[in-house]
Structure 1
């Protein structure tokens, strides 16, 4: 039995290479590539494109968040710095106000002390004047009393001295 085949082939180093099989396999390979390109390569590239866009957007969002966080951190540092400055100013103002109040209290106390001192001086002067007036009245009444007693009786010099001393003592006890 002889079969006749159309054989397109060549022999290379003792091996038969069938040209029809090669062409068939080449055509199948090209069809497979076309099918892969149409059904697999497009969706895979689409998925890859989506993934690339997603990664890029995530990177952009991360960079944006980093910039925002950096900006927020800087704002917080500035606010902290301002707070420290304000706190220092408040402390300084409180110290100045305390000093001013202290000086005011001291001035007020000195003024009040001076007023009390002057008032006490006036009272002392008034009391002294009253005492002088009372003393003058007593001396005058004693003088009148002594004069009337002396007139009533004629006394010797020693008797007059005793009488004067006696009335001075009486005047002292009456007070």
Structure 2
């Protein structure tokens, strides 16, 4: 086996040229494909990261919205309780005023009826007194007759009631 420098040098140059050609034709497209794939993956990662951040922002927004609605609902409930208490108090006060007015009217009516009864009794007593005086004056004053007249008068008064 003989080694010749010219032959080795020629093979070395052909090998280097072949390597340059393979690098230019074979490796460069592979590197370009790899670079394109790297950009695509980076874009996907960036998009996923952006989507994650958007989801976190949306979640935070939803939590704050839920809290705001919860506070609003609590406020509405408190307002409804306050309004219900105020209305119940107003109804009770109105009922108490009506009851007081009814009691006052009843007392006035009782007073008027009492006055009417007293007036009627006075009239009746006056009539009876006049009747008694006329009966007494018609007859002589005799203790026996007098007690009989009083008894009769009492019976008449009892029968008229």
- TM category (shorter chain) comes to 0.7 to 0.9
Structure 1 residues 56-67: aligned runs within 5 Å? 56-67=42-53
Structure 2 Cα separation of the partners of residues 30 and 116 of structure 1? 123
Moved over 4 A (4+): none
The structure with more radius of gyration: 1
Deviates more, 1:73-82 or 1:121-130: 73-82
- Structure 2: gaps spanning 5 or more residues: none
Q: Deviations over 1:93-149 (max 9, x none)?
A: 222222212321221122112101101110110110111121122112222322332
- Structure with the largest fraction of strand: 1
How many equivalent residue pairs? Answer: 161
2:80 counterpart residue number: 94
How far off is 1:158 after superposition?
4.2
Question: CA RMSD for the aligned pairs?
Answer: 2.1
Structure 2 Cα separation of the partners of residues 16 and 111 of structure 1? 135
SS in structure 1 at match of 2:3: strand
1:135 counterpart residue number: 121
- Structure with the largest fraction of helix: 2
Q: Deviations over 1:55-81 (max 9, x none)?
A: 111111111112111111211221122
Does 2:39 correspond to 1:41? no
Deviates more, 1:24-33 or 1:59-68: 24-33
Deviates more, 1:161-170 or 1:113-122: 161-170
Match of 1:161 among 116, 124, 147: 147
2:54 counterpart residue number: 68
Q: What TM-score do the two structures reach when normalised by structure 2?
A: 0.85
1:77 counterpart residue number: 63
Q: Deviations over 1:3-41 (max 9, x none)?
A: xxxxxxxxxxxx743334423432332232233233222
